[in-house]
């Protein structure tokens, strides 16, 4: 009896020991499994150096191995990230998932691609370079891969996954383009390219282009520098000429004249007469009352040109301001895109108004010739410059819509440009090259406009408002 009870005690003890061991093993395995889960499902703090490096190392686990892609059906080329490129790039202290935001999931793939603008917000749509390339994905230029492709369905230019022989190539090397060298432009901007780029690398817009276009606050091409310098010399000469006259009996000292003149302006602004000045600004300058008094058709012609320029200037200046203040805003994204239906239609409409005004004025000056119109050479020059600038702009838009193969439902908003692009498509010419030359014609004409400002008829843009303000009492 004693023996049996001893035996059963040992058996119970052995079973207990077995169960304990088993549960320990199971627990240890569970522990092991959970740490395996945490390899991926750990929430790293990518705002810390440790989080960034461990996050990178986790991705490198597979992405350093050139053969790791072979088990995956979708992948046809190595997905190897080369540390010799990546660790020398500006992004070496950025976690992979900060740019590749949607890859941490199953199945492991990206639908949205790399998200550059989540950090580089202010660059998206900035004028000068980026706004002109809105339908390009960032990496199409900023990655050192020579193969780009146009996806007409998505209206998007992106990196190609194949080379020119349609052999799959890797895009995972992370070779970032050196944008201080212009060679990266010529991978698209060559004759007979397939992505719809003009055949030559064209300069950036200048700040003087803001009168009609959303443009950067920089000088751009040296041609504009020369034009602006000529205009400035003319303006200084005009001002100098004005200050040759007497100011309140002061004939010699320019300092005294400036002092007396500015004193008058100051005392008028801070007096009751400010209201008469505001009235002059509103009725005479903004509403062109005095032109209307000279004749309705005259006012109509002048308004077609004046208000169209004013509206385009306001729109492009407002767009620039908005881009600076809120680069990701909904309005900004619409306004920076010259192919968005609102901008395209408005710009075309205003351009047509300008052209109509110029043609109407020319008809009156050279064909119907009413008695009260005296045409001087400077009138002809001004009208011809404005007319040619506008016309070359429409031609430019037409060629652009044609060569970039803009989908019809988008291109249609720019009705005048679209009409021209249909016309051009009937003629089989090298439009990609013609576009570049036409761009220079358009830009040079505008540079001529700027340089001519203080010398001829166009001077009235500045002098007439000043004269009206000086005569504010004569209403």
Q: Among residues 88, 121, 244, 279, which is the contact residue for another protein, using CB under 8 A?
A: 121
Q: Does 262 bind another protein (CB under 8 A)?
A: yes
Tell me how far apart the alpha carbons of residues 285 and 229 are, in angstroms, rounded to a whole number.
Answer: 27
Region binding another protein by CB under 8 A among candidate stretches 43-51, 257-265, 418-426, 430-438: 257-265
Q: Does 89 bind another protein (CB under 8 A)?
A: no
Q: Does 324 bind another protein (CB under 8 A)?
A: yes
Region binding another protein by CB under 8 A among candidate stretches 227-235, 262-270, 280-288, 367-375: 262-270
Q: Does 122 bind another protein (CB under 8 A)?
A: yes
Which one, 208 or 322, has the nearer CB to another protein?
A: 322
Which one, 4 or 255, has the nearer CB to another protein?
A: 255
- 445-464 mask for another protein (x: CB under 8 A)? --------------------
**Nearby residues of 223 by Cβ (< 8 Å), 6 or more positions away:** 443, 444, 447
Residue in 444, 418, 329 with CA at minimum distance from that of residue 321 = 329
Q: Is 249 exposed, middle or buried (0-12, 13-18, 19+ CB in 10 A)?
A: exposed
Tell which phi-psi region holds residue 124, choosing left (phi > 0), alpha (psi between -120 and 50) or beta.
beta
Region binding another protein by CB under 8 A among candidate stretches 133-141, 157-165, 265-273, 309-317: 265-273
CB of 324 to another protein, least distance (A): 5
Q: Does 325 bind another protein (CB under 8 A)?
A: yes
Q: Which stretch of DSSP H or E encloses residue 158?
A: strand 156-159
Residue in 302, 285, 286, 282 with CA at minimum distance from that of residue 294 = 302
**Nearby residues of 430 by Cβ (< 8 Å), 6 or more positions away:** 191, 192, 199
Q: Does 266 bind another protein (CB under 8 A)?
A: yes
Backbone angles phi, psi at 245, to 5 degrees: -75, 175
Tell me how far apart the alpha carbons of residues 303 and 124 are, in angstroms, rounded to a whole number.
Answer: 35
| CA 316 from centroid of its chain's CA atoms | 11
Q: Among residues 33, 35, 182, 326, which is the contact residue for another protein, using CB under 8 A?
A: 326
* Total binding residues toward another protein, as defined by CB under 8 A: 14
- Which parts of 227-256 interact with another protein (CB under 8 A)? 255
Q: Tell me which residues touch another protein (CB under 8 A).
A: 121-122, 255, 259, 262-263, 265-266, 270, 324-328
């Amino acid at each position: 009896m004693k023996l049996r009870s001893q035996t059963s005690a040992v058996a119970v003890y052995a079973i207990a020991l077995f169960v304990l061991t088993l549960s320990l093993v199971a627990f240890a395995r569970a522990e092991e499994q959970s740490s395996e889960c945490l390899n991926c499902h750990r929430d790293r703090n990518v705002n810390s150096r440790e989080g960034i490096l461990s996050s990178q190392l986790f991705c490198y686990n597979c992405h350093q191995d050139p053969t790791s892609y072979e088990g995956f059906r979708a992948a046809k080329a190595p997905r190897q990230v080369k540390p010799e490129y990546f660790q020398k790039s500006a992004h070496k202290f950025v976690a992979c998932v900060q740019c590749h935001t949607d890859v941490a999931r199953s199945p492991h793939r990206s639908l949205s691609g790399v998200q550059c603008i989540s950090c580089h917000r202010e660059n998206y749509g900035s004028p000068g370079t980026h706004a002109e390339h809105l339908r390009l994905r960032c990496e199409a230029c900023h990655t050192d891969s020579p193969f780009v492709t146009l996806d007409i369905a998505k209206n998007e230019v992106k990196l190609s996954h194949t080379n020119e022989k349609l052999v799959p190539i890797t895009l995972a090397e992370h070779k970032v383009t050196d944008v201080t060298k212009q060679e990266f432009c010529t991978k698209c901007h060559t004759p007979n390219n397939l992505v719809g780029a003009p055949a030559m690398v064209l300069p950036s817009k200048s700040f003087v282009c803001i009168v009609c276009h959303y443009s950067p606050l920089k000088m751009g091409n040296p041609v504009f520098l020369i034009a602006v310098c000529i205009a400035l010399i003319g303006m200084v000469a005009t001002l100098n000429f004005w200050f040759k006259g007497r100011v309140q009996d002061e004939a010699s000292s320019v300092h005294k004249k400036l002092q007396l003149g500015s004193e008058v302006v100051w005392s008028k602004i801070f007096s009751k007469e400010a209201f008469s000045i505001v009235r002059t600004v509103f009725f005479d300058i903004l509403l062109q009352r005095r032109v209307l008094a000279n004749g309705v058709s005259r006012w109509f012609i002048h308004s077609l040109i004046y208000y169209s320029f004013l509206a385009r200037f306001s729109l492009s200046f407002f767009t620039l301001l908005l881009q600076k203040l809120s680069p990701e805003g909904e309005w900004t994204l619409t306004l920076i895109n010259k192919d968005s239906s609102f901008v395209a239609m408005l710009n075309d409409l205003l351009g047509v108004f300008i052209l109509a005004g110029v043609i109407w004025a020319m008809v009156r000056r050279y064909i119907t010739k009413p008695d009260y119109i005296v045409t001087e050479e400077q009138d002809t020059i001004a009208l011809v410059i404005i007319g040619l600038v506008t016309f070359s702009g429409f031609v430019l838009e037409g060629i652009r819509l044609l060569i970039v193969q803009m989908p019809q439902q988008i291109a249609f908003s720019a009705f005048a440009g679209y009409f021209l692009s249909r016309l051009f498509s009937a003629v089989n010419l090298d439009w990609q090259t013609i576009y570049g030359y036409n761009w220079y014609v358009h830009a040079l004409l505008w540079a001529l406009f700027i340089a001519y400002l203080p010398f001829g008829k166009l001077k009235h843009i500045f002098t007439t408002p000043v004269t009206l303000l000086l005569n504010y009492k004569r209403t």
